[in-house]
Amino acid sequence: MSNDYFQGLNYSLANEDTWIEYKLAPENADSIFAVCGSGSRVIPLLARNPKELHIVDLSEAQLKLFRLRHESIKKLSYREYLFFLGYLKEENQLNRRELFKRLTLSSEDITYWDHFKSLWEAQGFIYLGKWENHFMMLGRIYQRLTCSQLFSLFDTKDYSHQKSLLNHFWITPLFQLYTKIVMNEWVANRLLYKGSFAGSKDKKTMKITAAEYVSGEFDDLFKTTWVKSNYFLQLIFLNSVMFKEAFPAECDEGLFYKVKNSSTQIHFHQKNLLELLKERPHDFYSLSDTFSYMKDEDVAEFLEALPKDIKKSSLMVIRTFMRKPSFKISSPWETKTELNERYAKEDCTRMYEFSVLKKA
């Protein structure tokens, strides 16, 4: 795995629909293991109140962002929390700098966030990531080049209303052409992935190109789902999670109070994922799409290296983007293709294949 792409603040919102992991995670588990990312994919797992939560990421900045999210839940009210992160644009008499002062963070974390103060004071934290800014830029360019007015499709009362407007505002051939320009291997590696793009021709296992994959899935989302409830599409095309119907799992009020009241002991790890997995058993594993960036030979036998005392019925959720490493699934681990395909359709981003493994 190349470390270049995973340094600094890469993710700040979410590129995964974490409702899936939340629904699969057990209540009151002894231990949950999760890849951090922006932290928003891990926060809902705390609502399951495990005794321990082990969080791993190669980037210390991503771990800092989780700590910020978690501390803001512990110290702020629900509406303060939504405003602080950036989901609410304006809130009477609230100031993000003053809210930040109420958090108990390490001096190192405070110093880090002070470097971005002018940005997060103005818009919150969820738009700071390199990944988010890259795709927000692509969304702005698309609408300027094509003169598309997609806001009308998002500001609809229901799916039927959206469907009646679709042909006026969403032109499939235009978007297909655009993705060929901005989702090709050179652009993705040069501007964002720094050579680690899983959709590159020498890495991907899908037969289609990244442009074909993205344009097909986005076209299907606009044609078959209510985009007002999709934060991923709003981030790209509106450059903002504008409607509360689209708020991701970390914004759910019920989950917010469960996390606020959780007593989970949290452990942070900045080390090799595969080595860490060998060290101790967990009851649930949320591995994100890390395997998309790993070599086949590194992950081929990873299940055999796991501790033998992992409990029966423990689940492991692996996402992959365009590149599915050929790890061997053998007893006592099993997976079901039809369930994996269902999860892929349920994820609002539609960008992932799933491998949900269960220990029999």
What integer is the mean pLDDT of 30-51? 97
Angstrom distance (rounded) from CA 22 to CA 47: 8
Angstrom distance (rounded) from CA 244 to CA 223: 21
What integer is the mean pLDDT of 188-199? 66
**β-strands 333-334, 353-359 pairing:** antiparallel
Which residues, in sequence order, are CB contacts of 287 under 8 Å at separation 6+?
33, 35, 273, 316, 317, 318, 319
| Residues in the chain, overall count | 360
Judge contact between 216 and 206, C-beta under 8 A: no
pLDDT at 49: 97
Q: What's the chain's average pLDDT?
A: 92
Q: 323 or 334: which carries more pLDDT confidence?
A: 334
| 191 band by pLDDT with thresholds 50, 70 and 90 | low
CA dihedral 302, 281, 25, 70 (to 10 degrees): -100
pLDDT at 78: 97
For the cut 80, the answer to whether the pLDDT of residue 196 exceeds it is no
Global pTM value: 0.92
Distances (CA, A) of 323 to 10, 106, 129, 197, 247: 20, 38, 23, 10, 28
| 249 band by pLDDT with thresholds 50, 70 and 90 | very high
For the cut 90, the answer to whether the pLDDT of residue 32 exceeds it is yes
Encode pLDDT of 270-292 as tens digits. 999 999 999 999 999 999 999 88
| 345 band by pLDDT with thresholds 50, 70 and 90 | very high
3-state secondary structure of 347: coil
What integer is the mean pLDDT of 296-322? 93
Domains in the chain: boundaries: 4-62+249-359, 130-246
Encode pLDDT of 42-75 as tens digits. 999 999 999 999 999 999 999 999 999 999 999 9
Encode pLDDT of 155-185 as tens digits. 999 999 999 999 999 999 999 999 988 877 7
Angstrom distance (rounded) from CA 355 to CA 344: 9
Encode pLDDT of 112-126 as tens digits. 999 999 999 999 999
For the cut 80, the answer to whether the pLDDT of residue 6 exceeds it is no
What integer is the mean pLDDT of 318-341? 90
Encode pLDDT of 224-238 as tens digits. 999 999 999 999 999
Q: Which fold has domain 4-62+249-359?
A: Rossmann fold (3.40.50)
pLDDT at 328: 86
Helix (H) or strand (E) holding 112: helix 107-114
Q: 41 or 202: which carries more pLDDT confidence?
A: 41
| 5 band by pLDDT with thresholds 50, 70 and 90 | low
pLDDT at 3: 55
pLDDT at 199: 64
Conformational region of residue 269, where left means phi above 0, alpha means psi within -120 to 50, and beta covers everything else: beta
pLDDT at 46: 98
The pLDDT > 70 percentage for the chain reads 95
The pLDDT > 90 percentage for the chain reads 75
What integer is the mean pLDDT of 250-254? 97
For the cut 80, the answer to whether the pLDDT of residue 205 exceeds it is no
Q: Encoding tokens for residue 138? A: 């692509």
Angstrom distance (rounded) from CA 346 to CA 224: 12
Conformational region of residue 253, where left means phi above 0, alpha means psi within -120 to 50, and beta covers everything else: alpha
pLDDT at 52: 98
Lowest mean pLDDT among 45-49, 85-89, 147-151, 238-242: 147-151
What integer is the mean pLDDT of 144-165? 94
For tokens 């702005």, the residue is: 140
